[in-house]
Amino acid sequence: MNKKAFTILELLVVISVLAILIGIAIPRIKGMQQAGQITQVKAELQTLQSATESYFSTNQSYPAGSSGATAMTTLVAATPQILSTQLNDPFNSSSAYGYYSTGNYYVWYSQGVASSSITDTVSTTGVVTSASGGYCSSNGTGC
């Protein structure tokens, strides 16, 4: 009898080759996902900086406080409307971007890949202290 079928050895070789290919592909996909998140963060921080400057031109002050959610709500509720929806940090999708203001200077920041809870601050002279190791956008210096 001459049956045409795969042997167990051939099947094991095919399965092991597939496992190796999957092992190579998964880290690359993860890296591409992080690269996409970084690009999204940079674009959204530019949007937040433009929105904050637009708010300033209308109200002659920057949104107050040290909470990203509060400042974002201020920008969404502003008249005329500046932002249509609240933007969430893609590295920490359950929360808004971080925000800190001294009155004359502000900084918007993302926690970045580390997703730590450390905050960025800006001094009264406009120097940003980036403790989060992520990404930031400010009207001061240091981002």
Task: Tell me how crowded residue 53 is: count the other CB atoms within 10 A of its CB.
Answer: 13
- Provide the whole-model pTM: 0.76
Is 1's pLDDT higher than 60? no
Q: What residues does each domain of the chain span?
A: 8-138
pLDDT at residue 3 greater than cutoff 90: no
**74 phi/psi in degrees, rounded to 5:** -60, -40
User: Do the bridges between strand 128-129 and strand 106-110 make them parallel or antiparallel, or are there none, so unpaired?
Assistant: unpaired
Would strands 98-101 and 106-110 be described as parallel, antiparallel, or unpaired? antiparallel
Distance CA 141, CA 143 (A): 6
The share of the chain scoring above pLDDT 70, in percent, equals: 94
| Amino acid at site 100 | Y
Q: What is the pLDDT of residues 29-51, one digit of tens each?
A: 877 888 898 999 999 999 999 99
- Do residues 118 and 97 make contact, with C-beta atoms less than 8 angstroms apart? no
Residue 117: pLDDT band by 50, 70, 90 thresholds? low
* pLDDT interval class at 132 (50, 70, 90): low
Residue pLDDT, tens place only, 51-61? 999 999 999 99
Q: What is the mean pLDDT of residues 86-90?
A: 88
